[in-house]
Amino acid sequence: MVVGLGQIGMGFDLSLNAAEYIYTHARAFSHHQDFDLTCGVDPSAEQRNVFSERFGRPAYPTIEEALSFHSPDVVGIATPTSDHASAISKVLKTYKPKAIICEKPIATTVQEARTLIQMCSEANVDLYVNYIRRSAPGVIEVKRMIESLEIAPPIRGVIWYSKGFIHNGSHFFNLAEFWLGEFKEAILINRGRDFGDFDAEPEIKAVFSKGEITFIPVCEEHFSFYTVELISSSGRLYWGQENLSWQEAVGDPILKSYKILSHSAKQIPSGLEHYQWHVADQLSRAMSGEKTSICTGKQAFETLSTMSEILEMRNP
C-alpha cells in the first residue's frame, strides 16, 4: 500500500518508459516480482483517479478506509516529512503490517524520529527509510571496493548538495556513513543560510572512521546539483549527475617517478535509472532474512541525530 501519491509515491515516472525508469513506490511495487501493489491513499481525488487508471488498483482518501479493505504486508509512507508521524500512527492504530518504508528524512526532529522508532518497535513492525542510493548496485560495489582496499585510505572527498542539508543532503550524509563508517566529528566551515522551517545549508567537513568529506551547498533555485568525488591513495571516484566512474592511480608513462590518474575511467553502472526497484529488492531481501543494504529506521535516526547536531553548531 502506498500512502501519498505525489512525486515519489507515483508521479516521477508516470510519463516515462517503465522498461527504462522505475523512480516511484507505485511503479516499483507493481513491477518487482516479490510484491503486489494493493492500493493507494491520497486526499486528492485527482491523484486517486490517476493511480487507479494507471495501476488498476483502488485508491482511498484515508489510511483508515484503505486498511478496512486491505491487509498489506508493506506500507510505503510517501507523504511530506511533517506528516510522517501522523501517517505511521494511523497505520499502527488500525493495523500491524510486517514492514513500513518511510520517505527520508525519517522526521523533522530527533525526538519525533525516536518516537516513530519506538512505536514501530512496540508494534513489532520493521521500519525502513527510503535512502535510495544505498540500495543501488553501483553504491554497493563502491562499498565493496572500499572494504577490499581497492579504494585505499586515506580517503578524502567533496559532496555538493542542494535543497537543504537534512532534506536532500541527508541522502549523501547517509551515503557517506554507508561507505566510510561511523561518524566521528564535524567542523563548521560556513554556517550558510536557513532553508525552510527546520533546515539549513551549511558548508561542513565531516570525519568518518574511513575518511572525511566536505559538504558544500548549491542554491536549489538556480539548479539542482549533486556530485560526489572521493580522492584515495589508489585513485579517484567520481559520481556526477549521471556517471559513476573510477580512475586508478597508475605510473606516469613518461615521468617514471610520478603517478597519475589513468586516462581511461572504469564505468560503474549505478542502477539509479531503476532506483526504487532496487530499494524494493533490498526490502524483499530484508523481509526474507537475507543480508541487505536498505536503511533501517535506527540507521536513519543516527543520520538525522548527527546532522541535527551539526546544524546546532551554526547557533552556538
- Write the pLDDT tens digit of every residue in 208-255: 999 999 999 999 999 999 999 999 999 999 999 779 999 999 999 888
* Residue 280 predicted with pLDDT over 80: yes
Is-contact 155 146, C-beta < 8 A? yes
Domains of the chain: 2-131 (3.40.50.720), 137-270 (3.30.360.10)
Extended strands (E) in 191-258? 194-195, 199-200, 203-208, 211-218, 227-232, 235-239, 244-251
Cβ neighbours, 10 Å, residue 128:
26
> Per-residue pLDDT for 288 more than 80?
yes
pLDDT at residue 292, rounded to an integer: 97
Q: Closest Cα to residue 40, out of 11, 6, 74, 2?
A: 2
Residues 6+ apart with CB under 8 A from 232: 151, 152, 153, 154, 155
Banded pLDDT at 49 (limits 50, 70, 90): very high
What residue type is 136 in one-letter code? A
Q: Which of 279, 282, 281 is nearest to 292 (CA)?
A: 282
Q: At 316, is the pLDDT very low, low, confident or very high (cuts 50, 70, 90)?
A: confident
User: Cα angle vertex 142, ends 279, 154, to 5°?
Assistant: 140
Mean pLDDT for all residues in the chain: 96
Q: Considering the chain, what percentage of its residues have pLDDT values greater than 90?
A: 96
In this predicted structure, the answer to whether residue 59 has a pLDDT above a threshold of 80 is yes
